[in-house]
Structures are given as structure tokens and as C-alpha cells.
Structure 1
Amino acid sequence: MTSGHNQRMEFLGDSIMQLVATEYLFIHFPDHHEGHLTLLRSSLVNNRTQAKVAEELGMQEFAITNDKTKRPVALRTKTLADLLESFIAALYIDKDLEYVHTFMNVCFFPRLKEFILNQDWNDPKSQLQQCCLTLRTEGKEPDIPLYK
């Protein structure tokens, strides 16, 4: 299924994580609007959170790298996140979606309280958009930034 690399697995794992996180947030936060749910989901499944989970689980020790030394190699955040997404895809393929739900219930969803308290979803782009929304004039549509 991988055709010699894990990018297809990363693609599948990312989609599955998005689905499971979306369903969880939809069920457990019934009074929140879709914009806030999107920000929370982004906090849960971004590269930083994925890399942290992968590191906590020691996944980097099982990564096959081009480094010929036998010592553990420090992996970049993106590489760790990709490793976790590939793992999620493999878990889904080898077991089923229920196993992915269980994994995320243990390793991801308990972090939500911390994300909400620290407003971890508030990356610079989100902060800029929120600022623009607060500056809107009564009765007028807000000016949303145009990114180039």
C-alpha cells in the first residue's frame, strides 16, 4: 500500500485523525460553533501535538532513517508528526476505526483542557483574523486578510 514510502500512509492517517477528532468535538462540545471546533481540532492534530505524542510514545526509536550510526537520532517535528500519521493509518488498516478512537481517547483528547486553558489554537494567523473581526464596523462585513 505504501509504494515504497510512507507519504500515502501519512495522507490516510491525517484524514482519519481529522475525522475522529471532528466527531469527538462535535459530540462533546455541542454548544460550540464550528469556528471554535475547527480551532480545537487544529490544536489536536497539528504537527506540534502529533510530534509531542510520537515523542512521548518513543516512536522515534523505531524510525528507519538514513543515519548510519546506531545512536538514536533526533527527528524534526514534521518527521515525528509524519511518523505518527503513518502509525494511525497502519492502526486503521490492521485493526479498525475503533482502535484509532481508543488511541486518540488516550493520547490526544485529554490534552483538550490544556489547549482551551492556554488557548493553544491561537496561532499568529488565527490571532490576526480574530483581530480583524473585532475591528469590523457595525453592520459591515469584516475585512479578512488576504494571504499571498
Structure 2
Amino acid sequence: MHEELEAILNIHFRSPDLLTLALTHRSYIYEASGEGKTSNERLEFLGDSILALISADFLYRTFPNLAEGELTDARAVLVRTETLAKFAREINLGKYLLMGKGEQNSGGGQRVLASAFEALLGAIYLDQGLETVQTFLLTRIEPLAHTIVKNRLFKDNKSLFQELAQAREGITPSYRLVSQEGPSHNREFTIEVMLGEQVAGQGQGRNKQAAEQEAAHQALISRGWL
């Protein structure tokens, strides 16, 4: 299985254990006989920081005319759960994940795929160094970043949704917390955006602000406003 994934990644791991760790979801440890094993959460933490650095560096060098706030918003689009899950699906990462049966039955979900992709970045970094991670990541980030900047897609989703909702439906959106799960260092918030009594969109994120942005993004898509 490792050889198959390595061929897709075009990366041969010197330490296969790192790749195995990147693919190990916490549900596998809980449900399987995983005594003495650990999940990919620490690698995910590392990969998240590497992703932020590489994407910020690329945007800064490539788009000198973007202001600081625009760079921040553009990066937020590049590193959000939906984008990372898309990257994960492109390399069929879900096929190789070690998950508990409950998580397998649900198909893993976007958050699991996004987290595994970040863990994979952390594993590549530890095994191969920063340059290899950059090469691997930039082939995915670069075309998306140009699309985002060209079409000004980095505008804050909450602001855009509020502006359009007020103009087209005469309603100011409100947000409500649905759930918060996971340990304090790796919490996932689920938030719904409401138009009156109607749920317009739902989003997940590591903090309430990110979840609200994702909910607004989903609402924009579902209404055909994006």
C-alpha cells in the first residue's frame, strides 16, 4: 500500500513509519488494538504550520500588489478545510487512511481528509526536508492561487454573504454553534449560518471564526451567489 501511495506522491520515504503515522487517524487507535501507537495529530500540527509558511511565502513573492489583508484572505482560502480535502481526494488519500470502523462508515469526511493531508505534509518535511514539501505543495497551490487572485475570490465570505443577503433577501445572516468536538488543542467547531429560521449553510473549522467563514462560503455556493 505504501508503494502505491508513494508512486502517486512521487516521493519515496526514507522512513516508512512516518508515512504510516501520517495515515493513522485517532479513531483507529481508539477502536483497533492500537496500544502503544499514536495518531497523526502531532504531524497534523506540524503540517499546518508548514502549510501556512509555504503558502504565505508563495503569495508574498508572487503577488506584490496585494495588501496585507488581501494576502491573509487569499491564504485563508488556500488552507481551508475544503481546499485541503480537495487536495487529499486528488491523490486518493482516503483509500490509504487507517481509521476506526465508525469513521470508515462515514467515509472520513472533509475534516479527516484535510487533517491527513496536513499530517502528510509534516511527514514529508521530517523525512525529506522543506524543499521537497514546497515542490509537492506548490504544484497544487499555484494554479489555485492565481485563480483566487485573478477573480478576487479572497474577499471575506462572511462580509460578502451579509452584503448579498441584505441586498437580495433583505435579511441579515446570523450564526449559531451546532457542536464543538475534540481535545482543546485540536477542537473542531461546527456552525450554521441562518437567514431567518432557514439554515443557509454549515461549516467546520478549528475555531468559531473559521467555521463561520466556511458556513458563509457554503451558503454562497448553495444560493448560486459565488
TM-score range, shorter chain: 0.7 to 0.9
1:97 equivalent in alignment to 2:130: yes
SS in 2 for 1:37: helix
Q: Runs ≥4 in structure 1, deviation > 6 angstroms?
A: none
Distance 1:122 1:97, change over 3 A: same
Shift of residue 116, structure 1, vs aligned partner: 3.0
Shift of residue 126, structure 1, vs aligned partner: 4.4
SS in 2 for 1:32: coil
1:35 equivalent in alignment to 2:49: no
- Which of 104, 107, 110 in structure 1 is aligned with 2:143? 110
Distance 1:74 1:97, change over 3 A: same
Residues matched between the structures, number: 129
Distance 1:122 1:84, change over 3 A: same
Indicate the larger mover: 119-128 or 56-65: 119-128
Normalising by structure 1, we get a TM-score of: 0.76
Q: Which runs of 5+ in 2 are unaligned?
A: 1-17, 22-36, 164-208, 210-226
Letter in 2 for 1:77: Q
Shift of residue 119, structure 1, vs aligned partner: 4.1
- Which of 45, 48, 56 in structure 1 is aligned with 2:90? 56
Letter in 2 for 1:22: A
> Percent sequence identity over matched residues?
33
Normalising by structure 2, we get a TM-score of: 0.51
Shift of residue 128, structure 1, vs aligned partner: 6.8
Letter in 2 for 1:23: D
Distance 1:28 1:74 in 2: 36
Alignment of 1:1-148 (within 5 A): 4-67=38-101, 74-127=107-160
More strand as a share of residues? 2
Q: Is the 8 A contact 2:85 2:117 kept in 1?
A: yes
| RMSD of equivalent CA atoms | 2.6
Shift of residue 124, structure 1, vs aligned partner: 3.2
Distance 2:160 2:68 in 1: 17
Letter in 1 for 2:108: L
Q: Is the 8 A contact 1:44 1:109 kept in 2?
A: no
Distance 1:126 1:109, change over 3 A: farther
SS in 1 for 2:42: helix
CA deviation digits over 1:65-121, x for unaligned, max 9?
1128xx997221110000000000000000000011101121222111222345443
Letter in 1 for 2:111: K
More relative contact order in 1 or in 2 (CA 8 Å, sep 6+)?
Answer: 1
